[in-house]
Structure 1
Amino acid sequence: MVQRRERLVSLDVFRGITIAGMILVNNPGNWSHVYAPLLHAQWHGWTPTDLIFPFFLFIVGVAMTYSFGKMFEREIPKSVLYKKVIKRSVILFGIGLFMAVFPLIRFDPLQLYDFSSMRIMGVLQRIALCYLFASIIFLEFRKVKSLVLWMVGILVGYWILMMTVPVPGQGVGVLTKEGNLATYIDQLLLGGHLWKPGWEPEGLLSTIPAIATVLIGLLTGKLLRSGQTDQEKVIRMFLYGNLGLVLGLIVDVWFPINKGLWTSSYVLFTGGFALHFLAICYWLIDMKGYKKWAEPFKIYGLNALAVFVLSSLMAKLFYLIPVTTSEGTSSIKGVIYEGLLLPIASPINASLIFAVSYILFWLWIMWLFYKREIFIKI
């Protein structure tokens, strides 16, 4: 007998592992002392850190099939669904903008925030746009064949754009950080509202192939909600995952794996990894019932948005709140790293201990939320 699960514990755990990974790589004690796998690739290529963001978008796609599936079964009008999608996208984008300008006053009444250089794009902003456009595609084209065609069309179209459209002053098919088409469009349309002068890792054009990452998640979700047996689902996830990895490495020869450009090879390669990771979690947790080890990640996964936003805001405060010490002015983070951790570990291990401690601190906070059944969703 085939049983359809309307909530995947494995997906919550996968989400929790991913958010824990994001906190780990975003919060070293000192950016000058970080193990290489916990840093992004400098440009072409990848590290484990480069898997985290596409994992999030993949998970968004899988979750969409469950949330929309329930609403389809209740025959909720499409107009109502569109209103929900737009509302959620706007709120996500707005939270991202708030995080970009937080805090408005940098603990100096004379140093107000300069909105002329405010960053417009970011992690949540990209998730919001990808969710919006993937939802539109899913609401209008629900069949697997149609979703595959959209995914392929996006990846091929982006590849063609990046390799054939000339960039003024640079030429055709240039994939350097400064000379590629995506960077040119961001500079043209976003002006000074970038992450760093002249560069935006979550840019406008490179958000388009990120939509394909969500579509891979949607297709996976449709597989998981199908009438196939659990064994068949796991086998197919591994097979499709292998296909993504192989295709990604093949395309890498002509269009290199690159997170900053979110290249088509990067979408296929990271999508393959995501399928493998979810297949392992599904087999261990939902099929075999090995759940105890995953409880901390489940707690994280059930409040992923809350822990991402709150931990990011606190990390900013750790940098910005000045602390006066006997050696001068430092920050809360500086005092913890230099005063507490450096005396007991090497610089790189002290930096790692800070990041791991930060994960554990927020696990405790989210555990309190979990015990009180506080789940923040939009």
Structure 2
Amino acid sequence: MMGVSIVLSQRSLRSKNLQKRNILLKICRRTIILFVLGLSEQDGVPKLENLRIFGVLQRLATCYFFTAIIVLVFDKKYDERDTTRLSICDNEKQSLCRELFNSTLQFWIQWFVVLMIMTVWILITFLVHVPNCPTGYLGPGGKHDHGKYMNCTGGSAGYIDRLILGNTHLYNEPTCKEIYHTKVPYDPEGILGILTGILLCYLGVQAGHSFIYSTRVRRICIHWLISGIICGSIGLILSRGGHSNSWIPINKNLWSLTFVLILASLAFFILTILYLLVDVNRWFTGSPFLWLGMNSIALYIGHGRFGTSFPVQFDVDNTHAKQLAIHLYGAFFWSFIAAFMYYKKIFIAI
């Protein structure tokens, strides 16, 4: 959705004759705000030598920045087509070949840059030598594979973070630690994952281009569904159907290429369904997702600060039923806050 918003917002700004340098300043401002908000999410008052550099919002900020720059630098000159109207109201006739060129092929330079970024990710992941570890290792280290690769957590991704950022600036409690008893820190929002995050964000840009340049609802949906099928198929092939012992396993902690492709595939399908339900047929208003989306950053920060405190959450027994109930309550709590802000017209944007 960030990629889709990049397309719509930049075209809106260009339609107002805003210069590219001014758009660049807006991109930088938004990036810095997101990054600083991410840094402020850390518990307590951390010392500078122990400050975690990257996190969820920092990942969003960096992926947004590089994707927005790619779109800004390599976008064609703005045309006069009105991009604010819904395609359901658009009766313009356009050949399928022309539509394919407008929505995809004319942006070949952007695709080339993104594919080069993915090539860099593949080369670093599978060719960089990590001391005392097998080249191309993608496992959790620790007790994995009978403890043969104790300090190889994350392979080259973990090695690069520890080399550039240092152990003290990384996340020290990765999910693999509880199971594999890893000994070295590993950050699931580290540097290398930014590259695959850019691909995910740019696939959203492609969804936005399909929406902008397609002239019929059916073609928009076909574009998105075919994109979802292509992404999902490549992801399943590279992961051998989701097998952990594959060329590129589907791994969220690594933000592996297959994880991003499967995630994008699901996003294309869900976007198509919601577009038909909400915008085209109006069978669904979009609530509560609409409320949550209008103040997503504010709610995320609020949950980070108060998500483990009363009245958002309180201590219950560690049973499946009670844990499920308390987490469902938390989701309803923030949905209520989002609804209150929405109907009071309180919108916090960056």
Assess same fold via TM > 0.5.
yes
- Asked whether 1:128 is paired with 2:61, we answer yes
- Asked whether 1:291 is paired with 2:276, we answer no
Instruction: Tell me the equivalent position of 2:134.
Output: 171
CA distance in 1, matches of 2:334, 2:62: 27
- Asked whether 1:198 is paired with 2:185, we answer yes
* Larger RCO, structure (CA 8 Å, separation 6 or more): 1
CA contact (8 A) 1:256 1:265 kept: yes
1:259 CA displacement: 1.3
CA distance in 2, matches of 1:270, 1:363: 24
- Which of residues 342, 347, 355 in structure 1 aligns to 2:319? 347
Instruction: Tell me the equivalent position of 1:264.
Output: 257
CA distance in 1, matches of 2:235, 2:61: 25
Bigger drift between 77-86 and 173-182 goes to: 173-182
The C-alpha deviation readout for 1:1-43, integer Å capped at 9, x for no partner, is xxxxxxxxxxxxxxxxxxxxxxxxxxxxxxxxxxxxxxxxxxx
CA distance in 1, matches of 2:157, 2:124: 9
- Which residues of 2 match residues 130-149 of structure 1 at below 5 A? 130-142=63-75, 143-149=106-112
1:69 CA displacement: 0.9
1:307 maps to a residue whose letter is L
CA distance in 1, matches of 2:254, 2:235: 14
CA distance in 1, matches of 2:190, 2:26: 25
CA contact (8 A) 1:159 1:255 kept: no
- Asked whether 1:152 is paired with 2:152, we answer no
Instruction: Tell me the equivalent position of 1:73.
Output: 15
Instruction: Tell me the equivalent position of 1:214.
Output: 201
CA distance in 2, matches of 1:103, 1:372: 32
1:130 maps to a residue whose letter is C
CA distance in 2, matches of 1:150, 1:271: 18
Paired residue secondary structure (1:242): helix
The C-alpha deviation readout for 1:287-320, integer Å capped at 9, x for no partner, is 111124x3211111111111111011102546xx
Structure 1: runs of 5+ lacking an equivalent: 1-58, 105-112, 319-330
The C-alpha deviation readout for 1:89-135, integer Å capped at 9, x for no partner, is 000000000012x433xxxxxxxx44432211100000000111111
Paired residue secondary structure (1:181): helix
- Asked whether 1:61 is paired with 2:61, we answer no
Instruction: Tell me the equivalent position of 1:244.
Output: 231
- Asked whether 1:116 is paired with 2:56, we answer no
**CA gap 1:99/1:90 in 2 versus in 1, 3 angstroms:** same
Instruction: Tell me the equivalent position of 2:333.
Output: 361
Query: Which TM-score applies when normalising by structure 2?
Result: 0.79
Aligned residue-pair number: 290
Identity %: 29
Instruction: Tell me the equivalent position of 2:266.
Output: 273
The C-alpha deviation readout for 1:197-216, integer Å capped at 9, x for no partner, is 51100001121111111000
**Moved segments of 4+, more than 6 Å:** none
- Which residues of 2 match residues 17-96 of structure 1 at below 5 A? 59-96=1-38
CA distance in 2, matches of 1:228, 1:356: 41
1:188 maps to a residue whose letter is L
1:64 maps to a residue whose letter is I
Query: Which TM-score applies when normalising by structure 1?
Result: 0.73
1:146 maps to a residue whose letter is I
The C-alpha deviation readout for 1:232-290, integer Å capped at 9, x for no partner, is 10111111101110011112241121111111222222111111110111111111111
CA distance in 2, matches of 1:198, 1:311: 25
CA distance in 1, matches of 2:122, 2:256: 7
The C-alpha deviation readout for 1:108-167, integer Å capped at 9, x for no partner, is xxxxx4443221110000000011111111111224222222232222321122111111
CA distance in 2, matches of 1:185, 1:132: 21
The root-mean-square deviation of aligned C-alpha atoms, in Å, is 1.8
1:337 maps to a residue whose letter is D
1:173 CA displacement: 0.9
- Which residues of 2 match residues 307-346 of structure 1 at below 5 A? 307-317=299-309, 333=313, 336-338=314-316, 342=317
CA contact (8 A) 1:63 1:221 kept: yes
CA contact (8 A) 2:312 2:330 kept: no
Instruction: Tell me the equivalent position of 1:42.
Output: none
Paired residue secondary structure (2:307): helix
CA contact (8 A) 1:155 1:209 kept: yes
Structure 2: runs of 5+ lacking an equivalent: 76-105, 142-151, 173-183, 240-245
CA contact (8 A) 1:186 1:203 kept: yes
